Amino acid sequence: MEECEALCDRLSIMAAGRFRCLATLPRLKEKYGSGYSVSLTLNTPDAVPSLLQYIESHIRGATLGYHSSKTVMIEVPVTSWDLPEVLKVLQEIPASMGVKDYNIAQNSLDKVSFFIYFILSIFVFYL
């Protein structure tokens, strides 16, 4: 999908042998994949519960994507926050929570295509 983001102006999606969608990449991201993915790297896995509580109380609409022993991935919808406010909350995370590093990224086309495939597979299943 990285090639599509780099080379394509528009993208079409087929599911179950039928044409389902034709749109520009920004439009697909806006409609199906809006938001940011925030990845936090921790010094110790013990900080995960307190960090999740802090993030959920300070960023409306933030949901846990996944977490491993020292990595937490959080999904932040665009509709609830602007990027500068998310950055401010991340910069103000208390040092006691042991956050070593964080990264914010706009959701990629891979996530968008996975979401569309998931929705269409449910749609096709119920036909």
Residue ranges of domains in the chain: 2-125
Q: In 3D, which of 116, 88, 91 has the Cα closest to residue 101?
A: 91
pTM here is: 0.63
In CATH, what is the architecture of 2-125?
2-Layer Sandwich (3.30)
Orientation angle between helical segments 109-125 and 25-32, nearest 10 degrees: 60
* Cα angle value 62/64/68 (rounded, 5°): 145
Question: Residue 1 in 3-state DSSP?
Answer: coil
Q: How many CB atoms lie within 10 A of CB 72?
A: 22
Cα–Cα distance for residue pair 53/62, rounded to 1 Å? 11
pLDDT by position in tens, the chain (length 127): 667 777 878 877 776 677 777 888 777 766 666 678 889 999 888 888 888 899 888 888 888 888 888 888 888 877 655 788 888 888 998 888 889 999 988 776 666 555 555 555 555 444 4
